[in-house]
Amino acid sequence: MSGQPKDLRGTGLESADFKKGRVFTEYYVPKLQYAWDTGEAIGRYLAELKNGRLIARRCNRCKRNLIPPRMFCERCFRTTDDWVFVQDTGKVNTFSLCYVSWDVQRLKVPEIPAVIEIDGAFPGAGIMHKLGNVKPKDVRVGMRVRAVWKPAAERTGSITDIKYFEPMKDSKRKQAAGKAKRK
Ligand SMILES: [Zn+2]
């Protein structure tokens, strides 16, 4: 903390106060080993990612394919019915140009987290991932994209088995044609 706030009660502390033992402190290395049960829906979802496929759960009443898959339809208040494979293509629903890394370092080249509406899932349903192989200024909502997968031997059953989503070439062409028309 730099300086003492004048109008706040209490005692301001600086890093040096802790290092020099002016304040009671306790140091330890926590043992943070834990197990996480993925559950039925996400377990299958992750296993299929390792196979290079996207899988959803279908609710036969509202006829929606849910991705990421869930065993329960929150609209119909009932158990979902079937597993269905969906495409590894889709369109950008929303995105962000992120110039700050996860550990708060400034980035010159932004990360582009995006929600991808997956082809075959119900409209508006999407998964969070990131975009790659695209210039930040070229990213658009509605842009058609496809998954770029890691090689099979490197996949671990994780969402990062997809490296990123990249624009589909025909999408680029259509965009260029669209721009030409608007001019
Ligand atoms: Zn439903």
pLDDT at 133: 97
Neighbouring CB atoms inside 10 A of 72's CB total 13
To which residue do tokens 């158990």 refer?
A: 79
Tens digits of residue pLDDT in 97-116: 999 988 888 999 999 999 99
181 pLDDT tier (thresholds 50, 70, 90): very low
Q: What distance in angstroms lies between residue 56's CA and the mean position of ligand 1's atoms?
A: 13
Ligand 1 center–CA 64 separation, angstroms: 6
CA of 127 to the centre of ligand 1 (A): 19
Residue 95 C-alpha to ligand 1 middle, in angstroms? 27
Across the range 8-30, mean pLDDT stands at 85
Strands 98-100 and 72-73: unpaired
Query: Rounded to the nearest whole angstrom, what is the distance from the C-alpha of residue 75 to the centroid of ligand 1?
Result: 5
Separation of 139 CA from ligand 1 center, angstroms? 33
Q: Tell me: pLDDT of 177 over 60.
A: no
Burial grade of 57 (CB within 10 A; 0-12, 13-18, 19 or more): buried
pLDDT at 173: 52
pLDDT score for 99:
95
Report pTM. 0.75
pLDDT at 21: 86
Instruction: For residue 14, give the nearest of 24, 4, 6, 28 by alpha carbon.
Output: 4
The answer, yes or no, to whether residue 125 has pLDDT greater than 50, is yes
Predicted local confidence at residue 180, as pLDDT: 44
CA of 72 to the centre of ligand 1 (A): 8
Q: How confident is the model at residue 171 (pLDDT cuts 50, 70, 90)?
A: low
Distance 60 CA to ligand 1 centre (A): 7
Three-state SS sequence of 92-126: EEEECCEEECCCCCEEEEEECEEEEEEECECCCCE
